[in-house]
Amino acid sequence: MLLSKKIAVLTGVNSGIGRKAAEIFAQNGAKIFGVDVRTDCMDELKTVIEGYGSEFVGCQCDVRNVEDVKAALKKAYDYYGKIDIMLNIAGVSCDKPISRISEDEFGRVMDINVKGVFNFCKYVTPYFKKQKHGVIINTSSITAICGSGMGCPYPASKAAILGLSKTLAFELAPWNIRVNTVAPGVINTEMVSALDPSARKTFEKSIPLKHMGDAADVANAMLFLASDMAKYITSANICVDGGYRPSTVNL
Which of the 8 DSSP states describes residue 3?
Answer: T
Whether 166 is catalytic = no
Q: 144 burial class (0-12, 13-18, 19+ CB within 10 angstroms)? A: buried
Residue closer to ligand NAD (CB basis): 7 or 21: 21
Nearer to ligand NAD by C-beta: 134 or 246? 246
Find the part of the chain contacting ligand NAD (CB under 6 A) among 97-105, 122-130, 181-189, 222-230: 181-189
Based on the residue annotation, tell me whether 158 is a catalytic residue of this protein: yes
Residue 192 within binding range of ligand NAD, rule CB under 6 A:
yes
The site map against ligand NAD for 98-127 (x = CB under 6 A) is --------------x---x-----------
List the interface residues with ligand NAD, window 143-172 (CB under 6 A): none
In order of 70, 187, 191, the CA distances from 99 in angstroms are 37, 27, 22
In 3D space, the residue among 181, 238, 184, 182 whose CA is nearest the CA of residue 207 turns out to be 184
Stretch that binds ligand NAD, among 12-20, 25-33, 172-180, 226-234 (CB under 6 A): 12-20
65-84 footprint of ligand NAD as x/- string (CB under 6 A): --------------------
Dihedral sign for Cα atoms in the order 204, 237, 190, 32 = positive
The strand pair at 56-60 and 31-36 is best described as parallel
Q: In angstroms, rounded to a whole number, what is the distance separating the alpha carbons of residues 190 and 200?
A: 13
Residue pair 144/155 in contact (Cβ under 8 Å)? The answer is yes
CB of 12 to ligand NAD, least distance (A): 3
Interaction site with ligand NAD (CB under 6 A)? 11-12, 14-18, 36-38, 61-64, 89-92, 112, 116, 139, 141, 184, 186-187, 189-192
